[in-house]
Each structure stands twice: as C-alpha cells, then as structure tokens.
Amino acid sequence: MQPTHPRRSLTALTAVCLAAAMTCLACGRKGPLRLDPRPEPTEIADIDVRQVGTDIELSWTFPQILGDGSTQFDFSQLRWIRCYHANRPAGKGKFHRQAEAMRKLKPGELEREGAVCRLRIPFKPGELAGKRHFFSIQYAYKRHKSPLAPVKEFITGLPPMPVTGLKAVQEGKTFRIEWIRPKENIQGKPLKSLAGYILYRRVLPSESNAEGMMPRPVTSRPLLGEKYEDQDTSTEGKYEYRVAALLSPGIESSPSEPVSLAMKDTYPPDTPGDVVVFRARDHLLINWRVVRERDFSHYRIYRKVDNEEEFTLLADRVEESRYEDRSIKTGHTYAYQVTAVDEKGNESPPSPAVDEAF
C-alpha cells in the first residue's frame, strides 16, 4: 500500500469542507446558491448642469434606495462627495483615470434644497468661451464608494454682464418689476442677442426663517422683455427679486442685486359683476360672474325683503357663482347683493342690488 501524498490529502479535505459549507448555506433553497445584494451605494442617476456667471452649477439627487433594493438612503451616513472634471471626452471606463479629481467635499458644504443638492465650481473667463466640459460625481456612503455617475457634457459660453437698474413698485396686490438690458458680456464685448431673462423670487413669510429658502424662477419660460407684473402675492411677507440675463438655454449672467417689497394683504378682491336673479317654480336663482383672483376664498350673499332698509347676510362661504334662495314666500319682493372674500378675510364692496318679485 502506497502512502497518501500530504498535499493531495489537504486538497481533498478542503474540497470536502467547502462542499459541506455550500450545502449548509444553501440548505432549504432550491437551485444554485444566490448571495443577497449588499446595501451599498448606487450611482447618481443624472446630473443637471447650468452656467451662472463664471460658475458652473451641478445639481442632483442621491438615490433613495441602496443597492440591496430595500435600504433607504440616509444622508447622515454620507461621508464625502467628489466631482470629476475633464475638458475632453474619454473612452468607456476611462473617465475616472483621465479626469481631474477635485477636492472631497463634506456633506455640510453642499447647498441643499429638499432632496436636491447643488455644487458650484468657479472657472476663469478664458475657460468658458465655447469650451466643452465633462463632469461626473462619486460619493462615499459609510465604508463604501459609489460608482461614478454618468458623465455629463456641457458647453460653456461668455455670459452677459449682470442686469442693472432693477426696481419694483407696488400697485394694490400687483408688484411691477423693471430692469435695464445689459449691453456687454463679461469681457466687455457687445451682446448681439439675448435669449431672455429669468426672474427669481423668494417669498419670506413674516413668521418663517429665511435660511435654506432658495430663489425660484417666477415663470416656467424666459421673459422676453425688461418688465414683469407679479400678481401672485397672496402670501404676506417679504418678496425678494433678482433677475439674470440668459445668453442661451443653460447659460445665464450672475444675478442682479436684489430688490424687495413687503406685502401686507389688506386689499379686497374685485366685486362680483353681472349679478342677475331669475324666478323659478319654488325658488329664486342668483347668478354672477366668477371672481378670478389667486387668493379668492368664497362669496357672501346679502338679502333684504320688500321695504327693509338694510341688507342682512343670507349665505356665507358660497363657493360657486350661483345661489338658490329657497327661503322665500309668495307675495314678496327680494333684493340681493353679492360680495367676494379672499383668504385673508378681506371682503369686496357689494355688487349693485338686483331684485325680483315672487
């Protein structure tokens, strides 16, 4: 009988142990062994890029769910964020090695608004005129790094000089804002054309803290002129405006100096018009023209009977532009007035009286 070689014995023993371990792990399962996914960070799905003055702004949202498909993303477990930048495209899988890795940012250095995070990167004017830029982002979550986000290309330009002469005046519930068109870009060369303007607004309610409240565009599309009437002023507080000139989609000037107005809503809505009353078989029907103010709340109906001197409230919190008066008796004449009430409780003057005999 020949002696067993020690290495062969060790190899065989290892194979037996491994098979036993795999059998134990797979115990109770059918089919091949499957390892559960780990709660590791996944890539940022998309990056939005725009140019503001000489800065390039990146914005994104972190994935809500980690790689295991069930664990919620916890912002407090975010360790750092790093942006990668390059001036030329890279082959597939090569961007990480060819791009410039900017310094790691701590989560507290990001500008945040809800789930959206923003990062601004300053550039010199000579790096902007018709230049191609490529960006990606990576982050560390607990002990793991995420994959790079899909590379985003952006072509920069020389933006206009900031808008000047911004002013705002109040006329009732309307704020009228005007400004002066910039004539040059940041290098002092004449501007041939503009794609419009973006008017930013921030509303600071009297009882709220302004920290973290970002200015938002007032309109969904660029403004084509140098004036705007803001009628969406139903919230009491401070209204702060800035305007930026748009060279092309995604490239805008640095914002103008701000102007602000305070709104204290003591202005009543418009009086309901075209009030008419119709006689039906068992009631009187009052109709009127709809009041279309942003802060409109409801209507009030006032009535007087025959020779009464004063109108008294018949119905409050009427939401439709019609009302059926069924509390009437034969042989009387009924007169009606209608008012409109806004969300602050301001009531309009009453409409001219209309009457009908029943």
* Other beta carbons less than 10 A from residue 57's beta carbon: 17
Whether residue 227 is predicted with pLDDT greater than 80 in this model: the reply is yes
For residues 179 and 94, membership in a common domain is answered with no
Check if the beta carbon of residue 176 is closer than 8 Å to that of residue 270.
no
What percent of the chain stands above pLDDT 90?
73
Q: Give the residue from 155, 180, 197 where a domain finishes.
A: 155
* pLDDT for position 30: 55
151 pLDDT band (50/70/90 cuts)? very high
For residues 138 and 222, membership in a common domain is answered with no
For residues 124 and 218, membership in a common domain is answered with no
Residue 349 domain flag: yes
Residue 2 domain flag: no
For residues 178 and 198, membership in a common domain is answered with yes
For residues 208 and 114, membership in a common domain is answered with no
Whether residue 14 is predicted with pLDDT greater than 60 in this model: the reply is no
Residue 86 domain flag: yes
**pLDDT (tens digit per residue) in 255-306:** 999 999 988 877 888 999 999 999 998 999 999 999 998 889 999 999 999 9
Check if the beta carbon of residue 321 is closer than 8 Å to that of residue 289.
yes
Lowest mean pLDDT among 65-69, 78-82, 135-139, 212-216: 212-216
* CA pair distance 116, 261, nearest whole angstrom: 28
Instruction: Compute CA distances 223 → 1, 145, 171, 244, whole Å.
Output: 97, 43, 21, 10
* pLDDT for position 210: 56
For residues 146 and 220, membership in a common domain is answered with no
Q: Give the residue from 263, 295, 329 where a domain finishes.
A: 263
293 SS3 class: coil
Length of the chain: 358
Rounded to the nearest 5°, which phi and psi values hold at 109? -85, -10
* pLDDT for position 29: 53
For residues 339 and 247, membership in a common domain is answered with no
Higher pLDDT, 200 or 209: 200
Lowest mean pLDDT among 37-41, 129-133, 317-321: 37-41
* pLDDT for position 1: 46
Both tokens of 68, joined, read 């295991």
Residue 305 domain flag: yes
Q: What is the DSSP string of 238-273?
A: EEEEEEEEEEETTEEPPPPPPEEEEE---PPPPPP-
Go through 107-135 and write b for each residue having 16 or more CB atoms within 10 A of its CB, e for each that does not: eeeeeeeeeebebeeebeeeebeeeebbb
Check if the beta carbon of residue 137 is closer than 8 Å to that of residue 80.
no
For residues 61 and 88, membership in a common domain is answered with yes
Domain with 232, as residue range(s), is: 164-263
Taking the alpha carbons at both ends of the chain, their separation in whole angstroms is 126
Q: Is the model's pTM score more than 0.75?
A: no
Higher pLDDT, 143 or 173: 143
For residues 147 and 191, membership in a common domain is answered with no
Whether residue 247 is predicted with pLDDT greater than 80 in this model: the reply is yes
Residue 17 domain flag: no
For residues 176 and 230, membership in a common domain is answered with yes
Alpha helices (H) along the chain: 6-25, 95-98
Both tokens of 356, joined, read 């009908």
94 pLDDT band (50/70/90 cuts)? confident
For residues 250 and 285, membership in a common domain is answered with no
What percent of the chain stands above pLDDT 70?
88
* pLDDT for position 8: 53
Residue 42 domain flag: no
* pLDDT for position 39: 84
Whether residue 149 is predicted with pLDDT greater than 60 in this model: the reply is yes
Residue 101 domain flag: yes
- Averaged pLDDT for residues 62-81: 94
Query: Structurally, how many domains does the chain consist of?
Result: 3
For residues 283 and 351, membership in a common domain is answered with yes
Whether residue 148 is predicted with pLDDT greater than 90 in this model: the reply is yes
Q: Give the residue from 155, 183, 214 where a domain finishes.
A: 155
Residue 34 domain flag: no
For every residue of 72-124, which 3-state class applies, written as one string?
Answer: ECCHHHEEEEEEEEECCCCCCCCHHHHCEECCCECHHHCEEECCEEEEEEECC
133 pLDDT band (50/70/90 cuts)? very high
Rounded to the nearest 5°, which phi and psi values hold at 203? -105, 120
32 pLDDT band (50/70/90 cuts)? low
Mean pLDDT, all residues of the chain: 88
* pLDDT for position 212: 58
CATH of the domain at 347: 2.60.40.10
Residue 280 exposure: Cα atoms within 13 Å on the Cβ side:
13
11 pLDDT band (50/70/90 cuts)? low
